[in-house]
Structure 1
Amino acid sequence: MQKPTTGRIVRYRGKQGLLAMRAAIVTADVDTLDPRGVAAGEVPALDSDQHVHLWVFTPGEKGGFAEFNVAPGDDPGQWSWPPRV
């Protein structure tokens, strides 16, 4: 599997409601996560080099929300690469 990197666009399947597929951007990966923020309790650690922190885009005024330590996959609460077209 290709390694996720900060700034890449991925898809995120929601964990609540309709379990909608949304666009998201990787905001931190294992190479860009600041260990000082983790040590200070300001941001969660990542469980593996495939886990990421995301900003998930949503329609409407709020615009989106953060998700932390998200694993890859196709199940609710996981990220995946967009299909090639």
Structure 2
Amino acid sequence: MDRIPVIGDIVRYRGKQGLHAVRAAIVTADVTTLDPEGVKLGAVPALDDESHVHLWVFTPGQVGGFHEFNVGPGTEPGTWHWPADAR
């Protein structure tokens, strides 16, 4: 991995359901911003390591998106990856 994701980074998320569509997502928590008290109380899931993040995944349609928690990097369904360079 070329760099560690931080809160506010835009990444791509490959869905776990259906066609495994790739969607835009924003990092909503990383290891430096995760609230340890929230984790302790069970209000927020823990992160496995510094490459895992919590995401808000954007979707077309009325709902607009959904949360995904403790998402690791990769190219398989249920992972995030960096967007390709702008063309």
Question: TM-score, normalising length from structure 1?
Answer: 0.98
- Deviation track 1:17-68 (CA, whole Å, cap 9, x = no partner) reads 1100000000000000000000000011000000000000000000000000
Q: Distance in 2 between matches of 1:30 and 1:11?
A: 19
* Structure 1 counterpart of 2:77: 76
Give 1:16's aligned residue.
Answer: 17
Report the counterpart of residue 48 of structure 2 in structure 1.
47
Q: Which residue of 1 aligns with 2:60?
A: 59
Q: Percent identity?
A: 69
Number of residues of Structure 1 aligned to a counterpart in Structure 2: 85
Distance 1:60 1:36 in 2: 34
Letter in 2 for 1:63: G
Q: Flag structure 1 segments of 5+ consecutive residues without an equivalent.
A: none
User: In the alignment, which residue of structure 2 is the partner of 1:31?
Assistant: 32
Q: Unaligned 5+ residue runs, structure 2?
A: none
TM-score (normalizing by structure 2): 0.96
Runs of 4+ that moved beyond 6 A: none
